[in-house]
Amino acid sequence: MTVTALRENLWVALDTLRARKGRSALTILGIVIGVTSVIAIASIIDGLNAYVQGRISKLGARTFFVMRIPAGFNPTARLPPNIRIRKYINSDDAKYIEQASPGVEYATSFINRINFLEQTDEIRYGNAYVEKFIIRGVEPEYTYAIPLFSVVEGRFISQFDLEHSRSVAVIGQALSDSLFPMTDPIGKEVRINGRTYEVIGIFDKDPGLFGGFGVDQFVCIPLTNFQKNYPDVKEIFIAASVRPDANMGITRDQVLESMRRRRHVKYNAENDFEIADPDFLGNLWNQLTGALVLLTGIISSIGLLVGGIGVMNIMLISVTERTSEIGVRKAVGATKGDIRVQFLLEAIVLSCIGGVIGILIGAAIAFSVRALVPSIPAFVSIFWVLAGFSISVSVGLFFGYYPANRAANLDPINCLRHE
């Protein structure tokens, strides 16, 4: 078929669809729904993936976390007996890991106090106060292991602060704004649960993942001071940062072996501690989004199936209505291929119109979500635009071939007799 003939068939297809606007619009509705859901959800998930990966890199893309209980375990749930009997990790374990693991650059301990239920912590300056924040006891190397906690004003906790258990604190930006809206916080004294602390630093702004708790809601104090004032909190964590030139897998094995030696774990016994890899949060996030992708795929498939059946149905009706036209075209020399291409083009044009509308609506939804909820940075990639268009073309080809082939195989004599 020549380019001229192909162009003529395309214009005939467009004229036919223009003459039946209402029916064509209802036919493509399913395709619009299917492509819209694909573009919108994929754009949101792509944006979220980029955002989460950025957060993970700030948390420490080359940092292992050593802990007594499994990562992600529900803190309100009762620990299984085999975990409950494990020895607590202590701050000296971090020093041992750093000395015994050549691939580890820094190993630092930290500990949390989180009271959000019956009892809440309080930080107060004058008449201003904030509740529901996280107190974390840390060592000076903490910011090297976890870059997310970067200080923009003042300084971080020093070795001198740690050795002398000084009552100093580095607070999050949101806490600073609430307590010191018109005053420089550095050097001021706040009261944390009734105890006086000097503010020596302010963390860089970080509202948290999806508006949840972030660095903005943290108060970091020396680990020794934390242990002195909150002796009931015993769950210590270790962040082990890997050297830039070291292999992650080899270093993980070094940390594992050093902890087994340190805790005197027998050679044939299971570990009585856990090591969370840097990609733990990424893997957890992928598991969560995997279910969403599956659900979106099901919804999109249903919409595209309905739309495809609609396209096939409308094309079969069109073949029946234009039987005489098919007979005339064959009588003046049109081949089966010409007839097949004509009706196949109509089906593809119909589905492509639905695909383009779906892409536009999906992109509008993604941009609206980004504007209304900045914590969900949705963006439309060229890949998904091309994928949405390809899907709509494929639907037109698949569901339009049978009606087009049926039209091509009609007997011209019977077509001319058709009323």
pLDDT over threshold 70, residue 254: yes
Least confident of 61-65, 174-178, 258-262, 408-412: 408-412
pLDDT over threshold 90, residue 304: no
pLDDT over threshold 80, residue 115: no
Pairing of strands 274-276, 122-125: unpaired
Q: Residue 416: pLDDT band by 50, 70, 90 thresholds?
A: low
pLDDT over threshold 90, residue 17: no
pLDDT over threshold 60, residue 375: yes
Cβ distance 157 to 170 under 8 Å?
Answer: yes
Q: Residue 116: pLDDT band by 50, 70, 90 thresholds?
A: low
Give mean pLDDT, residues 294-321.
Answer: 74
Question: Where are the domains positioned within the chain?
Answer: 3-55+284-417, 62-277
**DSSP β-bridge partners for residue 195:** 192
Question: With a threshold of 0.75, does the pTM exceed it?
Answer: no
**Which position has the token pair 């903490």?**
142
Q: What is the DSSP string of 188-256?
A: -EEEETTEEEEEEEEEPP---GGGSS-GGGEEEEEHHHHHHH-TT---EEEEEEEPTTS-HHHHHHHHH
Per the structure block, which two tokens stand in for 198? 């000097």
pLDDT recorded at residue 167? 94
pLDDT recorded at residue 206? 80
d(Cα 182, Cα 165) in Å, to the nearest integer? 30
Give mean pLDDT, residues 254-266.
Answer: 91
Q: Residue 97: pLDDT band by 50, 70, 90 thresholds?
A: very high
Q: What is the DSSP string of 39-71?
A: HHHHHHHHHHHHHHHHHHHHHHTTEEEEESS-T
Considering only residues 121 and 415, tell me which one the structure prediction assigns the higher pLDDT: 121
